[in-house]
Amino acid sequence: MKKKRILLIITGSIAAYKSIYLIRLLKDAGFELNCITTRSAEKFITHLTVSSLTGNKVYNDLFSLDDELEMGHIKLAKENDLILVAPASANFVSKISHGLADDLASSVMLASNTPTFIFPAMNSNMLNNFFTKKNFIRLKKAGIRIFETNPGELACGDLGPGRMKEPKEILTITKEFFQEKNTLFKGVNALVTAGPTQESIDPVRYLSNHSSGKQGYALAEQLADMGANVCLVSGPTKINKPKNISNFIQVKTAEEMFDKCLKNIPKDLFISVAAVSDWKIKNYSKDKIKKNNKRISFELTENKDILKFISTHNKRPRLVVGFAAETNDIEKNSISKLKSKKCDLIIANNVSNKKIGMGEDMNSAHIYNNSRLLSTYKKMSKIDLSKKILTEIIHPFLEKKIGKDIL
């Protein structure tokens, strides 16, 4: 089997010394390594050390005549299976989040479509700074994964978050990434919905909800990484199109989502994550409604129930999974939905908790099957929750439905 190629970008942080141990671990695990060091990183480690451990040339110069004869920064951006930035300094995070490309490392980042993991290392105050947080949000929206730092004693003597994850932790994360990009769902045709829908009131107003689409996108991307053929039907979100999903369909209204879902079955697996509007305005106003009309009322009409329709369709997918955003009586409401929608699994989350769920990066889940609680997952990132749901819940269920010979 061809070795997986990793590009390790080392930036200017005292944690750069840990990258030396990380290189050793990655090499011992069988990965092929290329390294880029920034000028600041070279204040902490030497080219000779990095080159000796990787067995390859170390890159640092955007204007190297030898390297750039072959457009070296473009080649580095394309030829690797994964990019690790470890450590990632506050300066480098700020630079790449704003699309700057004034050195080799930032130019490669700007030219790359390769999955990228960022492992920050900085003082707690820098980590919690308003601008740093905004920079992380920009990078996440661009599809780059940011890993939390570890708490502990920092180089400056302060106690708090800001320590880069330990090399062994980064190795584990890297291995899991490549294990998940395998054949767990190979050959499975999956349809996933994500995001909200918008139901127009007049040309400038609409009914909608707080769904960000993050959980649906995370599930769809993880499924694709695990070998599935994924169709993602998305309502309006601020998330970029997933790089690993070719069949990506954007819609606005519940009716449009219904039509696109219907055209993309039969599938082996349907995961209905989208927060579809239950109602739409019966009498849409083609002109903007003026606020001088003191008494305004709207008549609503019910939208088609996508989850129920597909669950009872004569071309029903083998496994149908629904999501339920609840604020109270989670078990009662989830089991009721499971029965009424006639799906196989309901994944419920408590959206009354403002720190998780709609619009947030974190989530929790209660999973129901056959009128009983099957599993509970406490607060974690939506990416990690997606992995657990797919590997621990959906894959075993789908295996029973399709058969071990196919999955």
* 208 pLDDT more than 80: yes
Taken in order 325, 143, 185, 251, the sign of the CA dihedral is positive
What order do you get walking across the sheet with 229-234 strand by strand? 247-250, 229-234, 189-194, 269-272, 319-326, 345-350, 362-369, 372-381
Spatial separation of the C-alpha atoms in residues 40 and 37, rounded to whole Å: 8
Taken in order 312, 316, 319, 325, the sign of the CA dihedral is negative
Spatial separation of the C-alpha atoms in residues 9 and 15, rounded to whole Å: 13
pLDDT-derived band at 24 (thresholds 50, 70, 90) equals very high
Indicate the pairing of strand 116-120 with strand 82-88. parallel
Which architecture, in CATH terms, is 189-284+295-401? 3-Layer(aba) Sandwich (3.40)
pLDDT-derived band at 343 (thresholds 50, 70, 90) equals very high
Spatial separation of the C-alpha atoms in residues 159 and 153, rounded to whole Å: 5
CB half-sphere exposure, 120, CA atoms < 13 A: 26
How confident is the model over 359-399, as pLDDT tens digits?
888 899 999 998 889 899 988 889 889 988 998 899 989 98
Radius of gyration in angstroms for the set of CA atoms belonging to the chain, rounded to a whole number: 24
**Which helix H or strand E contains 114, and what residues bound it?**
none
The boundaries of every CATH 3.40.50.1950 domain in the chain are: 5-180
The boundaries of every CATH 3.40.50.10300 domain in the chain are: 189-284+295-401
| Section 133-140 average pLDDT | 94
Is residue 184 within 8 Å of 389, Cβ to Cβ? no
pLDDT-derived band at 293 (thresholds 50, 70, 90) equals low
Catalytically active residues, by annotation? 156
Per-residue pLDDT, 21: 95
Which one is the CATH code of 5-180: 3.30.870.10, 3.55.40.10, 1.20.1070.10, 3.40.50.1950? 3.40.50.1950
Spatial separation of the C-alpha atoms in residues 269 and 346, rounded to whole Å: 14
Indicate the pairing of strand 82-88 with strand 58-59. unpaired
Helices and strands in the chain: count of H runs, count of E runs:
15, 20
Residue 159 CB coordination number (10 Å): 10
How confident is the model over 94-131, as pLDDT tens digits?
999 999 999 999 999 998 888 899 999 999 999 999 99
Per-residue pLDDT, 406: 47
Mean pLDDT taken over the chain: 89
Widest Cα–Cα separation across the chain? 77
